Each structure stands twice: as C-alpha cells, then as structure tokens.
Structure 1
Amino acid sequence: MDIRVLNYFLMVAREENVTRASRLLQITQPTLSRQLSRLEEELGVKLFRRSDHSIYLTDEGMLFRRRAQELVDLADKAKSELIQKEETLTGLVSVGCGETHSVKELAKIINGFQEMHPQVKFELYSSNNEDIKAKIEQGNLDLGLLLEPVSITNYNFVRMKTKEQWGVFLHKDLHLASKEAIFPGDLVGTLVVTLHVNTPVHNELIGWSGDFAKEMDFSVTYNVLYNAVIVAREKKGAVICLKLDCDYDDMKFVPLEPKLELSSVLVWKEHQAYSKATTAFIEFIKEKYK
C-alpha cells in the first residue's frame, strides 16, 4: 500500500471534493480518481459515497481513514528519525501522559534535556493508561507516563518521585462540599463521575470504597478530567479524580480519607529500536534516576 496514495485518500476525505483535493495535491483530477478507484479495488470495499458535487466516506471509509492516518503518521515519524544530522542531535520524541502531578516532574526532565539538545522537539499526547500503552505498542508513542497500578511487563521504566493524591471535585451546593475529607460511604446517593470501570486504577478506588462501592451511582465515566468536571458541575454531582493544579467555578476539591496516594511510572519498550533523539532522552532519564 503506497503512502502517497494514502495521502491522496486523506486529502479527499478532508476536502469532500475531488476537484479541490486534486488542486491542493497538484495532480490532475482523472489521476486522483483513478488512484482512489485502485485503492478501493485493492481493499475490496467502497470507501466513498459520491454525489453530484461532493464525495463522502462510507462506514468502511471512516474506519480506514483512522488507520490510514496512523500509517502516514508512522511514515512521517520514521522519515524524520532517519534524517539525523551527525553534528547536532535533532528529532522528535513523543510522550503520552495522563493528567497527573508527575507531569511537572516530566517537564523538568524535558527542560533539562532540551538545554543540552535544543534542536530536539517533544510531542505530548494526553490520554489514559490503556490508550497510551496501545499507542506505544503501535509505535505512535516513544514513552508513556502511566499512573499505577498498571501492568508494565515488557517495559523498561523509572518510578517518578511525585505522589498522586486522590480526592473528589464536588459541586459547591452539595452538603459534602463543606467537609474536610471524604470517607468511604460518603458518596452513596450522590451522582458520581469516575474513571473508566474495570481498569486497574478504578479497581484501586473500588478497593478504597469497600462494600460501599456497590451502592454508588457511577452515572458517567471519563478519561479527561476537564470534560468530567463540566458534566459533574451540570449534574451538581462529584468527580473522583487526582488533585491537580486547577480550579473550576462552583466546584471544590476534597481529599479522600483514609488518604489514597499512588505513584506514576515513565515507561518505554524493551528491545526497541529508537531514533537517536529518543535513545539519548532515555539515557538521560536513566542517568537522572539511577
């Protein structure tokens, strides 16, 4: 499968017009249409629905668009890794990270590395443990900052020094917002937004709640805190989350008691061939944490 043709496909999917896409790609419209037809023949599915003036993705096309973008991104990443000047370290290091206090620690590591190698750029991708690990396996991310507990078999890692404290963002109108701490059972009867269920971190929270977990109303789950807080504020409910350096109107953070603290780990694949920039960054991390 030709990366060039994948770029053609992605341009048409974005523009929803073959004429406009061919102009942007600087190729003729018949050539572009022929390449798209050959791609559909190769895949054995119809990627587009055509009307008089526009062209739209089919369900199969929408699925293929995501995979095509991943392939193009990987190809671009591989190309940038190979174009490496000998005299100056350059390149891109991609790091996935959750919403944690440990990001501050990571930021200091990146800053220290870039002071030595200012031509190296970093790309940060924010998500949860499961998504970050999947993207590391796919080769879309070089390293990941993961919240424990998490399975790190087949990964090298350093454990961050920062401790992550769990608590609850509560709407100010809730009676619980006046408390100094939230105890197991306090959230029973309150609309709760929590992390995705059946994940190791969520199970840790279930363990903290004990038998009361069965009585709690997990009405919404999340992986990005900002969106979760907006929903909880609208519902005048609560969000179980980490303590971060952020404030939200009409919401108050209250810590859990007994205190629940977890750690984070910065991981990368074992026996993986990395770019010179990523390899140098990993060695820099090892030296900092040895």
Structure 2
Amino acid sequence: MKGISYPRYGGPEVLEYGELRDPKVGPDQVLVRVRAAAVNPVDWKCREGHLDPVLDAVFPVIPGWDVSGVVVQPGAAVTEFAAGDEVIGYVREDFLSRGTFAEYVAAPVRTLARKPRTLSFEEAAGLPLAGLTAYQVLVKALEVRRGETVLVHAAAGGVGSLAVQIAAHLGARVIGTAGEHNHDYVRTLGGEPVAYGEGLTERVRGLAPEGVEAVFDTVGGDTLKTSANLLAPEGRLASIADPEVRGYGGRYCFVRPDAEDLRHLSELADQGALSVHVERTFPLERAADAHRLSQEGHTRGKIVVTVGGEPEEGPA
C-alpha cells in the first residue's frame, strides 16, 4: 500500500511517501480503507520526538491518529462492524508505528464508531481526536453544567471550535478567546469572542464580573495564571497543553480512545449540534506540507489529508 512514514525523528522533511508494508488484521481490529486523515499538533510533536519519553517509536513510523474511511475486513472476533461500514476513529496505540496516513489502517474496535451521516469523509476525519478531547475535558474533567460560564482558549482552533459547540450544547454560556479575524466564526459556534493578549483579564471580567465556573486551556504557559485568576470561587481549570496546570489546582488531561464517547459525538453531528470546519485539505503525498501548516499554529478548524478513491477489497 501507499502511505507516509518517517524513518527517524526530525522536521517535515523526514516524511516520505512510498510503498509500505500491508497491515495485518488482528482478531479485535478491522481493516479500514482510509478516505481522509486529520492533522493534529500532536502529529508533528511525535515526529519531532517530543513524546519519546512516554511512547516508544517503532521505525518507520506511519503518522496520524485520526481517520475516516470504510471497513474492508473485520477481524475474527469483531461483531460490531461489517465490510462496507463507514467509520471514524481515534486510532491511537501506546507506541508509534501504525498510523492513519496510508491507504489502509488496521484499527482496534475500541477506537472506532460509525461515521456521522451528515459529515463528509473530510469533515468526519477532523472529529475524533479533537472532539474526544473537547468532550472528555468538558464532561468528565470539568463536569460543565447548564447555566455555568465556560472560558475556552483558542476557540477557533481544532479543539477549541468543538469545545465551544459542546459546551453550548451542554447549556453553558461560552466565552472564547480568538484573534479578531475569527470573532464572527466563534459567534457562529455559539460563543462570545474576546481577543487574547494583553488586557485579557479585563475583557473577560467585563463579560463575567464574578468570574467563570470553568476554564478549558489549550495554550499553557502564562495563560494558566491568567485563567486561574479568572475563576469564580470553586471554579475548575483544565489544560491539555501544560501539566503545570496542577500547580494552579487544575487538571492536566490527555485524550484517550473511547468508542462510546465517539459514538456520542457522531450522534451530535447528525443532530446538527456539532460541525467540523475543514480549513484546508492536502493529498496524501503532500502530508509534509500539511504538517508545516499545522506547525504554524494559526489554523481555523482542521487540516485534513485526503487519500481518495473508492473502497477496494483490500491491499494488493
């Protein structure tokens, strides 16, 4: 099969397009013909070796954890899916090797759910990692409740844009930091935009004088101190960007695959409560350009790599 891999850690230039070994399909896996795979900041962080302290790399590494595609072959123990089913997945294992930037991926059933009918393959590919991150932080870590005010940082980004929509669906009032060029976009998501940068505390206090009940941090660093100072009494703080959040009494969160959570997100999308904005797509062979754009850090919504083509019976 064709795909992208890297033989060592490094910059985007280490990504190579070419022939890869066909994946084997374990008993609890399904072989998925990939139609699209989203790019996430964690992809280039893995490629540069930043996650080496916690994840072994078995080179060559195929990058990518997000996928949308069509089931080609279920494993021997699989009853949840059949050939022809359209699925989405956050296909993460606890080592780096068998990712989604290829024509096929053998995905554990625990990482998959049925693709939302209302989303294209490109849009659906952008839902799993970012959507699960937003859902698990808001619902499980911050336990956001109806009527509360939630501050979401980087509200126009991949995770932030989904967090705004999910928090609004939960019945919360949502304030979102974003560049001024993205303020109208944040409003369409159901949030009240504020500009980030100097004076942020005063701007948020102008909207929520008593403070906010919950802060979802996606930035880290100095933003943590600002966020802690904006909390109402008994307010909660969670970060996906900086474990130093614990020093402010908050929780550090790392998304995990969860088929039930992913099914819920798919249902929200089909109900019209959740949309995925795809800022740009790249063909698989240009995955390095997709990584470069992601690394710039200013994308609205998601960047997606497309594999294209109609589902086949399996790798040649």
Measured against the shorter chain, the TM-score band is under 0.3
For the pair shown, the structure with the greater C-alpha radius of gyration is 1
Scaled by the length of structure 1, the TM-score of the pair is 0.26
The structure with the largest helix share of the pair is 1
